[in-house]
Amino acid sequence: MADKYLLRVTAGPTYDPSTHTLVPVNTPAPTHITSPHCTASLSVRIQNYRGIPPPLSSSRNSTHPLPPGLPRHSPATSPYFTHPAHKHDQYSIAFIFTPHASLSGRALVFGNDFDTPVRDRLPPGTGTAMKIVKWAVDPGLEGDVYADRPWLYGRVGGSVNVLRVGEKGEGEEDGNGDGGVLEEGGDGEGVKVREEAGMPEGAKERRAWFLKEGGDSWVWEGGRVYRGDFFNGYLDFNGKARANGLVGAEFALKLPGFSLSILPYLGKTDSLRYVMKNKETGDVFFVVVFTLVQKEDVEKVEALAAKENKEKSLKEEEYEPSADDVD
What is the rounded CA–CA span in Å between residue 92 and residue 81? 9
The upper half-sphere exposure of residue 41, i.e. CA atoms within 13 Å in the direction of its Cβ, equals: 17
DSSP 301: H
E-state strands within the chain: 5-12, 21-22, 31-34, 38-46, 91-99, 103-104, 108-113, 142-144, 151-155, 162-168, 185-186, 219-220, 224-232, 235-236, 242-243, 246-247, 252-255, 258-261, 271-278, 284-294
Highest mean pLDDT: which of 38-47, 140-149, 261-270? 38-47
Q: pLDDT tens digits for 5-47?
A: 788 899 999 999 999 999 999 999 999 999 999 999 999 999 9
Highest mean pLDDT: which of 4-8, 62-66, 178-182, 285-289? 285-289
What is the rounded CA–CA span in Å between residue 3 and residue 225? 40
Residue 55: pLDDT band (50, 70, 90) is: very low
Flag whether pLDDT at 67 surpasses 60: no
Q: Which residue has the higher pLDDT, 320 or 91?
A: 91
Kindly state the average pLDDT of the residues 98-126.
87
| Pair 127, 258: CB distance under 8 Å | no
Please name the residues in contact with 274: beta carbons below 8 A apart, sequence gap of 6 or more: 93, 110, 111, 112, 230, 287, 288, 289, 290
SS3 call for 28: coil
